[in-house]
Amino acid sequence: MITQSAVEQLEQALGKDKLITAKEDLLVLGYDSTPGLHAMPDLVVYPTSTQDVIKVVEVARGHNIPLTPRGSATGLSGGSIPINGGIVICLTKMNRILEIDEENLTATCEAGVVTLDLFNAVAEKGLFYPPDPGSQKISTLAGNVMEDAGGLRGLKYGVTRDYVMALTCVLADGSLISTGGKSVKDVAGYAFKDLLVGSEGTLGIITEITVKLIPPPQTKQTFLAYFDNIRTAGEAVSKIIAAKIIPSTMEIMDKATINCVEDYAGIGLPRQMAALLLIEVDGHPAVVAEEAEALKAILEQVGSAEVHQAKDAQDAMKLAEARRTALSALARVSPTTLLEDATVPRSKLADTFTLIEQLTEKYQLTVGTFGHAGDGNLHPTVLCDERNEDEMKRAHAFYDELYEQVLAWGGTVSGEHGIGIAKKGYLAKQIGPGGVAVMRRIKSAFDPQGIMNPGKIFVSEQE
């Protein structure tokens, strides 16, 4: 519980307008997109400047109150859920794009800028910010940085980390650090910036972000390849990569996903097919033409049922947009959608699909699978009902068994959604007690009091 004196200090420091204390508001600021997780914060603040953030941290520190940063709460591992109550600090009102530097090809933004807004703003200036998580139309940049979000273009262009050049961050002791800068090279001391990326709000609160921009590709071609068998789709992915073609996008959807997305988007996806790959090659026109030909040849050779090419840019955009809705669209089938983020070396994709099919059968579940196939990053999603205890047990057993094998193949328990609350146990399995111990030491170097987003990533010593 938060004390009256802490509330008063916050009121004084920030003004009443930026504080939320009514129960109805608090009720809706303690969830994210992770199913089944919810907690009540004691209070929520909406800072509008870095100075505000420092003031909040100071009050929290003085009263030993847990502090949970929140962006748009589209996280899929529970990162912004205040499991120990305390203060939620919501950065969505710090949403100004501060600078687009065309000489250095960088953009500097406040933490709460929406990903797609940045993309559009730089596109107007003829520049390109590639990271595009499915949630881009609402996710915040700081949320992306803190989860190291990937997206549809990850295969060729990399993930959020690859674009972060500098961060401004308020640490748990109230101090402000700036790490990185506009220089493209920087080896001055420890790479704090790299440590902060993907830290899920456990090391500090990001207030400003400078990202790298690149020139957009001159042209692109988009293909839809259909498959009678999902394993074949997996083979196609491995073969394409082995042929040294790096498409900008290589996304997969299985039959269940195709049907849900089609129910929503109605763009004529093939409902009867076992799987489809959405593939995009981009770059110099001559290279694109060459790669497109090679791609078609490989698809034919592995036995794709049909290959279609998008008519024009608008058509291609519609396809990508539709793919982005996959997760939410699957949610129309059942009350609860449990999704995972297993990532395997790409040569293991076909085997992973086989395994998912076997486990689905074994545990008698309904599963829809989609994901960033080109990255080996799959989201097998169990469509279930949280009120059915037996089904939930089977779902968890399904994931336990799946992850065991994924780890045995040298994969990871999270490709892009982070560990948060949901996957603490799996992380411990992946990195072992030694790994967890080092992470704890890093955490306490940054945050000796343990007030920054406690209870996330690893099981705390008290638990």
Ligand X SMILES: Cc1cc2nc3c(=O)[nH]c(=O)nc-3n(C[C@H](O)[C@H](O)[C@H](O)COP(=O)(O)OP(=O)(O)OC[C@H]3O[C@@H](n4cnc5c(N)ncnc54)[C@H](O)[C@@H]3O)c2cc1C
For position 376 contacting ligand X by CB under 6 A, the verdict is no
For position 259 contacting other proteins by CB under 8 A, the verdict is no
For position 423 contacting ligand X by CB under 6 A, the verdict is no
Contacts of 53 (CB under 8 A, 6+ apart): 47, 89, 170, 205, 207
Nearer to other proteins, 43 or 329 (CB): 329
Judged by beta carbon distances under 5 to 8 A according to partner kind, the member of ligand X, other proteins, none in contact with residue 349 is: none
Q: Which of these, 62, 52, 56, 33, lies nearest to 43 by C-alpha position?
A: 56
Alpha carbons 209 and 168: distance in angstroms, whole number: 6
Nearer to ligand X, 321 or 351 (CB): 321
Alpha carbons 357 and 348: distance in angstroms, whole number: 14
For position 138 contacting other proteins by CB under 8 A, the verdict is yes
Find out whether 338 and 382 touch, Cβ atoms under 8 Å: yes
Nearer to ligand X, 76 or 292 (CB): 76
Q: In b/e form, how buried is each residue of 242-266, taking b as 16+ CB within 10 angstroms?
A: eeebebbbbbbbbbbbbbbbbeebe
Q: Is 36 left (phi over 0), alpha (psi -120 to 50) or beta?
A: left
Nearer to ligand X, 133 or 374 (CB): 133
Interface with ligand X in residues 222-281 (CB under 6 A): none
Judged by beta carbon distances under 5 to 8 A according to partner kind, the member of ligand X, other proteins, none in contact with residue 329 is: other proteins
To ligand X, the closest distance from the beta carbon of 270 in angstroms equals 23
Residue 328's Cβ-count burial label (10 Å; 0-12, 13-18, 19+) is middle
Alpha carbons 285 and 308: distance in angstroms, whole number: 19
Judged by beta carbon distances under 5 to 8 A according to partner kind, the member of ligand X, other proteins, none in contact with residue 133 is: ligand X
Torsion of CA 378, 383, 389, 395, to 10 degrees: -20
Alpha carbons 163 and 150: distance in angstroms, whole number: 11
Nearer to ligand X, 35 or 217 (CB): 35
Alpha carbons 248 and 284: distance in angstroms, whole number: 13
- Indicate which single residue of 83, 155, 172, 327 sits in contact with other proteins (rule: CB under 8 A): 327
Interface with ligand X in residues 70-99 (CB under 6 A): 70-76, 79-80, 91
Alpha carbons 164 and 307: distance in angstroms, whole number: 36
Judged by beta carbon distances under 5 to 8 A according to partner kind, the member of ligand X, other proteins, none in contact with residue 151 is: ligand X
For position 108 contacting ligand X by CB under 6 A, the verdict is no
- Indicate which single residue of 41, 180, 198, 201 sits in contact with ligand X (rule: CB under 6 A): 201
Q: Which one-letter amino acid corresponds to residue 296?
A: K
For position 144 contacting ligand X by CB under 6 A, the verdict is yes
Nearer to ligand X, 75 or 217 (CB): 75
For position 337 contacting other proteins by CB under 8 A, the verdict is yes
Nearer to other proteins, 265 or 287 (CB): 265
Q: Which two tokens stand for residue 260?
A: 């849900």
The phi and psi torsions of 250 (rounded to 5 degrees) equal -145, 90
Residues facing residue 307 across a β-bridge? 225
Find out whether 228 and 274 touch, Cβ atoms under 8 Å: yes
Q: Binding string, 374-413, against other proteins, x = CB under 8 A?
A: -----------x-x--------------------------
- The residue written with tokens 């959020």 in the block is 160
Alpha carbons 193 and 442: distance in angstroms, whole number: 14
Nearer to other proteins, 27 or 188 (CB): 27
Judged by beta carbon distances under 5 to 8 A according to partner kind, the member of ligand X, other proteins, none in contact with residue 85 is: none
Q: Which residues contact ligand X by CB under 6 A?
A: 32-33, 68-76, 79-80, 91, 111, 133-135, 139-140, 142-144, 146-147, 149-151, 200-201, 205-206, 327-328, 416-417, 453
Q: Which residues contact other proteins by CB under 8 A?
A: 22-25, 27-29, 31-33, 35, 46, 72-74, 92-93, 114, 135, 137-139, 260-261, 263-265, 325, 327-329, 331-332, 335, 337, 385, 387
